[in-house]
Amino acid sequence: MTDLFSPVQLGNLELSNRIVMAPMTRNRAPQGIPTELMAEYYRQRASAGLIVTEGAQISEQGIGYPATPGIHTDEQIEGWKTVTEAVHDARGHIFCQLWHCGRISHPDYHGGSKPVAPSAIVAAGQAFTYEGLKDFVEPRALDADEIPGIVDQYRHAAACAMQAGFDGVELHSANGYLLDQFLRDGTNRRTDVYGGSIENRIRLLKEVTEAVVAEIGADKVGVRISPVNAFNDIHDSEPQALFNQVAEMLTDIGIAFLHVVEVTMAGDVDRAVDMSDIRRRFNGLSIANGGYDKARGNAAIADGRADLVAYGIPYLANPDLPERFKQDAALNEADQATFYGGDEHGYTDYPTLGD
């Protein structure tokens, strides 16, 4: 029977299991450059079938949080090389998540300039800055002639990821960030070819995906979506129709995987969207994400509802999660106080079964 511990082919990679380390922001990259401590963090978790890194900004324009890494400069490439080499030396596989925060940012990160978005609609809530929480500001709507530049930022970041030694990239089109902002009619009120109909609103994601595929190959590209997650004040009037069409578009392009966050930020299931309907429309590998434990993960794979299962907080606190699942061992409890920022405490000091 196929389960979490069955191997699976992802492009030209043979993954030893179907357990994915989900992308998790940890705010431990001063000056946006990955560190040796980050390399150790990812190395410890290399027994995952696949690691997807925390979001890495595709440009200075894409920054929205303090001490998060980028993937667009020579210094960042060199920093990430220490990470990918550590993971590969431990016989793991790692994709870089490409991230542009869009309106979920603050002028503090942009020399006083407004962050960009599909439309000039301020998000409810507050931005995390180096000086603490500050109210979100009204973003600046991107001009149509700026959008090819956004597409090229993603293409360039994907090329940088390959130079850094990554096995592939995941496009972050979830959780209310820039690509998600273009998808949803709650944040996209444009009247040009990037707004209005679903076909128009998915155009930026389509162009970005096509550009990245042309740069590095379809077998090295995945996309992450979150159809029911309202995080960062995101919403849509017809999410089922929207994400069905997204899945069909990505099938036509032929990417390697679709990573679906199935729950709200609070971990709740929202029956307004049928995730299985989205999956039926995508012919690549499906990664399910949303509060899974071992039993539910095995069931999802055995039933064909997912090809792989992503784990977030359990992986944060359990670097040897696959081995713990195999042995039905107890899991370490995550220390929420150390999730964001700090040093090795709550980052690289969680014990393994061997410890």
Active site residues: 177
Q: Give the span between the Cα atoms of 200 and 181, in whole angstroms.
A: 13
For tokens 């679906």, what's the residue?
A: 260
CA pair distance 5, 321, nearest whole angstrom? 12
Q: Assign residue 340 a region: left if phi > 0, alpha if psi is -120 to 50, beta otherwise?
A: beta
Check residue 62 and give left, alpha or beta (phi > 0: left; psi -120 to 50: alpha): alpha
* Token pair of 303 as six digits: 């039933």
- Which tokens belong to 9? 């082919």
Residues 6+ apart with CB under 8 A from 244: 277, 278, 281
* C-alpha to C-alpha distance for 269 and 285, rounded to whole angstroms: 22
Separation in Å, CA 244 to CA 7, 22, 79, 83, 275: 28, 23, 38, 35, 9
CA pair distance 300, 348, nearest whole angstrom: 30
- Residue listed under structure tokens 């995730």: 275
Query: Do residues 84 and 163 touch, judged by C-beta distance below 8 A?
Result: no
Pairing state between β 13-15 and 8-10: antiparallel
Whose CA is closest to 177, among 135, 115, 221? 115
Cβ pair 86, 99 in contact under 8 A: no
How many C-beta neighbours within 10 Å does residue 133 have? Answer: 10
Nearest alpha-carbon partner for 54 in 291, 347, 354, 349:
347
